[in-house]
Structure 1
Amino acid sequence: MKALLCHQFGLPETLTMSDIETPSPGPAQVLIKVKACGVNFPDTLIIQDKYQFKPELPFAPGGEVSGVVEAVGSEVKHVQPGDKVFALTIWGGFAEYVLADGHKCLPMPEGMDFVTGAITMYTCGTSLHALKQRANIQAGETLVVLGAAGGVGLAAVQIGKLMGAHVIAAASSDEKLKLCKASGADETINYTKEDLKTRIKDLTDGKGADVIYDPVGDQYSEPAVRALAWEGRYLVVGFAAGVPASIRLNLPLLKGASVVGVFWGAFAQKQPKESFENFQQILEWIKSGQLKQNIYKQYPLEQGAQAIRDLMDRKVIGKNVVVI
């Protein structure tokens, strides 16, 4: 089979197309013929050996896929060869075939296409877990989403609205904010032109934000924390800007605020029942048309490195997808 492999840790340009043996599933595994693979921020880290998961070289990036079941292990009963599925793989998805753990592989609902299936787990799973289990957001509360035009950001904007929040989308360009507005954001902030803390305060009549969803980090984290309301919750989702922020701990103290980590992958593994319930809700929203992500571009497997490069260069508005 063909795969886009990382033979040595580095930037996307070091990835190479290779012919390798098609793997066979173990007892609790599923072999999937890949149709599409979502491109996510962890892909930019894992090829540089900067991610919390450390695969052995060589490996293919690509953490979430959709496709058709080719074979299953003896312990797998919920899917069978020929079934359309989507799965969390962490890595390996930039290939014609990939192995997935059975408990991380779900049947695709009728009517869902492969591209949609390949961009659902990371972004929507992360955002609903963040807002529901970690922030316990309530209808009527104010949610500020940083990096709101990215994959997880747009999902958070839409899911926040579906949960009844007043959503303020913050992003780095007017073009990105236009999409956020079309996706349901009530207000917008261009944080390359406007002071983030001041604008959040202005838009909340001085109260501040109840919940801040931050997948960006770096220079925007501290002003965001300063703009929290009393008993606000600051969600640490990721560091797309490349640098984890240092936050002065007197700030959450003075606001009675919480700094809350969001690690959806660990949540899905440690609390599978709650994760499954979240996905049932996500799939209902997708089926009804209430939740829909923007597709920036589709790339063939041979251009998978470019897909990661475009994400690193912050060109992507919404999601990009590698199609096999």
Structure 2
Amino acid sequence: MKAVVCKQWGPPEALEVCEIPDLTPGPQEVLIQVQAAGINFPDVLIIQNKYQFKPELPFTPGSEACGIVQATGAEVKHFKAGDRVIAFVGNGAFAQQLLAPQQAIFPVPPGMDDDTAAAITLTYGTSHHALLDRAQLKAGETVLVLGASGGVGIAAIEIAKATGARVIAAASSAEKLAVCVEHGADICINYNDADWRDQLKAATGKQGPDVIFDPVGGDYAEAAFRSIAWRGRYLVIGFANGEIPKIPLNLPLLKGASILGVFWGDFVRREPTANLQAMQQLVGWFHEKKIRPHISGRYSLSDCATAMNLLATRKATGKLIIRPQD
């Protein structure tokens, strides 16, 4: 089979598409023919050895996939050949075949296509955990979403709206903000505008947002936090900007505000039942047409580096998908 292989730490250009032996499932594993795999920002960091999860070289990147069960291990009871499944794994998804532990997969919901199924676990799981578990978002509150046109940003907009919140989307171009409007944003702010904090103040009646969802980091973080509402909650999602901000601790003191870390991968590992309940709610919202992943590009294995670079340079909107069988 063909697979994208990371043989040395480095940028996406260092990845290779290789022919490797077909895989065989262990007793509690499922062998999946991958139809679609989602690209996520952590994938870009992992191949450069810049993430908290560090696989041994060589490895195949990619953590989420949709596909068809080809074979199962002797101890697998709930899946059989031919089943359509979604898998969330540490790595291995950018390949024509994927081995996944049986506890890491679940059936594709009826009516969900392959690309959508490959795009819903990490981004929507992260945003749901952030907004509803960590921030305890309530109907009527206002959420500021930074990096709002990205995968987790679009998911955050839709989940906040499904909860009954008001959403202010912040992104770096009119084109990106137009995508945010398509997915339900109430107000849009271009944070390249010099007066973006004044726009934010006006949009919240000088009160500031109740929740700030930040997957970007960098210079925007402190500026956004200075605008947060009393008892506001600031969600640390990631650092797509490349810079980890250093927020002065007098700011949460003065605002009675909280800084909340969001590590969905460890949440899945530590609290699998809570994650399953979240996924069930997301599937319900999908059927109610309250959420719909925005897929802006589909790529073959040979174009994986191109796609990952679009994500790394923040030129992509929504989700990018790898189609290994193409």
TM-score, length-scaled by structure 1: 0.98
Aligned mates of 1:261, 1:240 — CA distance in 2: 15
- The secondary structure found in structure 1 opposite 2:216 is coil
User: How far apart are residue 199 of structure 1 and its match?
Assistant: 2.3
Aligned mates of 1:221, 1:188 — CA distance in 2: 17
Counting only pairs closer than 5 Å after superposition, residues 212-231 of structure 1 correspond to structure 2 as: 212-231=212-231
- Residue 286 (structure 2) pairs with residue 271 (structure 1): no
Aligned mates of 1:196, 1:257 — CA distance in 2: 21
Counting only pairs closer than 5 Å after superposition, residues 1-324 of structure 1 correspond to structure 2 as: 1-324=1-324
Q: Deviations over 1:127-183 (max 9, x none)?
A: 111111100000000100000000000000011000011100000001110111121
Cα RMSD (Å) of the superposition?
Answer: 1.0
Residue type at the aligned position of 1:321: I
What residue ranges of structure 1 are gaps of 5+ in the alignment?
none
Contact 1:196–1:220 (8 Å) recurs in 2: no
Q: Percent identity?
A: 51
Residue type at the aligned position of 1:257: A
Contact 1:128–1:278 (8 Å) recurs in 2: yes
- The secondary structure found in structure 1 opposite 2:287 is helix
Contact 1:4–1:60 (8 Å) recurs in 2: yes
Aligned mates of 1:37, 1:29 — CA distance in 2: 19
Aligned mates of 2:196, 2:105 — CA distance in 1: 40
User: How far apart are residue 197 of structure 1 and its match?
Assistant: 3.0
User: How far apart are residue 243 of structure 1 and its match?
Assistant: 1.2
Aligned mates of 1:195, 1:247 — CA distance in 2: 21
Aligned mates of 1:26, 1:147 — CA distance in 2: 40
Contact 1:196–1:223 (8 Å) recurs in 2: no
Residue type at the aligned position of 1:145: V
- The secondary structure found in structure 1 opposite 2:129 is helix
Aligned mates of 2:43, 2:257 — CA distance in 1: 32
Residue type at the aligned position of 2:161: K
User: How far apart are residue 101 of structure 1 and its match?
Assistant: 1.9
What residue ranges of structure 2 are gaps of 5+ in the alignment?
none
User: How far apart are residue 237 of structure 1 and its match?
Assistant: 0.4
Q: Deviations over 1:38-71 (max 9, x none)?
A: 0110111010011111111111111100001112
Residue type at the aligned position of 1:135: A
Mean alpha-carbon deviation: is it higher for 69-78 or for 296-305? 69-78
User: How far apart are residue 220 of structure 1 and its match?
Assistant: 0.6
Aligned mates of 1:198, 1:25 — CA distance in 2: 57
- The secondary structure found in structure 1 opposite 2:21 is coil
Residue type at the aligned position of 1:263: F
Residue type at the aligned position of 2:88: L
User: How far apart are residue 301 of structure 1 and its match?
Assistant: 1.2
Aligned mates of 2:13, 2:148 — CA distance in 1: 27
Q: Deviations over 1:7-35 (max 9, x none)?
A: 10000111111111122222222211100
Q: Deviations over 1:263-293 (max 9, x none)?
A: 1111111111111111111111112222112
Contact 1:170–1:190 (8 Å) recurs in 2: yes
Residue type at the aligned position of 1:264: W
Aligned mates of 2:53, 2:87 — CA distance in 1: 17
Residue type at the aligned position of 1:77: K
Residue type at the aligned position of 2:17: M
**Number of residue pairs matched by the alignment:** 324
